[in-house]
Amino acid sequence: AQSVTQLDSQVPVFEEAPVELRCNYSSSVSVYLFWYVQYPNQGLQLLLKYLSGSTLVKGINGFEAEFNKSQTSFHLRKPSVHISDTAEYFCAVSERTGANNLFFGTGTRLTVIP
Amino acid sequence: DVKVTQSSRYLVKRTGEKVFLECVQDMDHENMFWYRQDPGLGLRLIYFSYDVKMKEKGDIPEGYSVSREKKERFSLILESASTNQTSMYLCASSLRRQGVDTIYFGEGSWLTVV
């Protein structure tokens, strides 16, 4: 069974500062990894995904994430945040084989302070 | 662009009512999903469907049923709504049956049961 842990439920950060949102997963099989963003009153939008290849994945809006297999982590980073990055961020994992659905973490609310 | 449309954004229903949440996607995706989102719990899968007339239980199917009579439409049914089903419901769809392709989300339906 899959599980996803987002260690920080809330992360406040000042504008133009760097940010890291942490995500760890547990799985007995190979996985795909995702980060989604949810702006207020909206559905989820894909930020980036790791399927295979380079472990450093670049996504939209200047975000990137690094897959670390030994630490079973997929942390999301941005070197300089903007007010518009204020949102909830969800890490998700899916097995490479088997059921085609995502398992989500509980989310991290990023608040960018002017 | 992929479009996943949830017909009702905000609903208020009484306890015991039968509730239908409708979802339509326009990209000929095989897979469709219903998730429930609650603060501190992230997204939890209720049901998913690989194809027309096919359905699989997710993590929290109790109190819900689904219908997929056409490929583009996936309905979530609350047979007898209860107050603990007050939540945000998210529909999603994706392309592949094996492995995982990007899952696209609708904007969500806020259901309040009084």
Q: Hey, what amino acid is at B114? A: V
Give the nearest chain A residue to B38 (CA atoms): A106
For residues A36 and A45, give the distance between their C-alpha atoms in angstroms, rounded to a whole number. 5
Please check whether residue A53 touches B, CB under 8 A.
no
Residue A27's pLDDT is what? 79
Q: How confident is the model at residue B67 (pLDDT cuts 50, 70, 90)?
A: very high
**Partner-chain contact A100 B107, CB within 8 Å:** no
DSSP A62: G
Q: How far is A108 from chain B (nearest CA, A)?
A: 9
pLDDT surpasses 90 at B1: no
B31-38 and A87-95 strand pairing: unpaired
Mean pLDDT, all residues of chain B: 91
Give the pLDDT band of residue A100 (cuts 50, 70, 90).
low
Please give the Cα distance from A67 to A91 (Å, whole number): 12
Map tokens 């599980």 to a residue. A3
Give the CA distances from residue B80 to residues B16, B36, B89, in Å, rounded to whole numbers and listed in that order. Answer: 4, 17, 16
Q: Which residues of A touch B102 (CB under 8 A)?
A: 46, 49
Residue B40's closest chain A neighbor by CA? A106
Q: Say yes or no to pLDDT of A19 above 70.
A: yes
Tens-digit pLDDT profile for residues A25-45: 997 778 889 999 999 888 899
The residue length of chain A stands at 114
Q: Is the pLDDT confidence value at A52 over 90?
A: no
pLDDT in tens, B24-34: 999 898 889 99
Q: How far is CA B67 from CA A2, A83, B84, B92, in A?
A: 26, 41, 22, 14
The C-alpha atoms of residue B49 and residue B31 are separated, in whole angstroms, by 6
Inform me whether the pLDDT recorded for B110 exceeds 80: yes
- CB contacts of A45 in chain B (<8 Å) are 105
CA-based torsion, B27, B29, B33, B34: positive or negative: positive
Region A73-83 average pLDDT: 97
Average pLDDT, chain A: 91
Average pLDDT over residues A1-25: 93
Amino acid A99: pLDDT: 58
What phi, psi does A58 have (nearest 5°)?
A: -105, 140
- The values of phi and psi at residue B37, to 5°, are -120, 125
Instruction: Inform me whether the C-beta atom of residue B90 falls under 8 Å from chain A C-beta atoms.
Output: yes
Euclidean distance between CA atoms B48 and B31, whole angstroms: 7
What was the pLDDT predicted at B95?
80
Which parts of A3-85 fold into alpha helices (H)? Answer: none
Indicate yes or no: CB of B105 within 8 angstroms of CB of A102: no
Nearest CA in chain A to B96: A100
Does the distance separating the beta carbons of B43 and A32 come in below 8 Å?
Answer: no
Interfacial B residues in 32-61 facing A (CB < 8 Å) = 33, 35, 40-45, 48, 50, 56, 58
Give residues 59 to 88 of B whose Cβ lies within 8 Å of A.
none
Confidence grade of residue B36 (pLDDT, cut at 50, 70, 90): very high
Band (pLDDT 50/70/90 cuts) for residue A101 is: confident
Verify whether the Cβ–Cβ distance A43 to B4 is below 8 Å: yes
- Convert the pLDDT of each residue in B98-108 to its tens digit: 555 678 899 99
pLDDT given for residue B52 in this prediction: 93
Structure-block tokens of residue A111: 């608040």
> Residue B74: what pLDDT?
97
* Over residues B70-80, mean pLDDT: 96
* Gyration radius of chain B over CA positions: 13
Is A102 in contact with B4 (Cβ distance < 8 A)? no
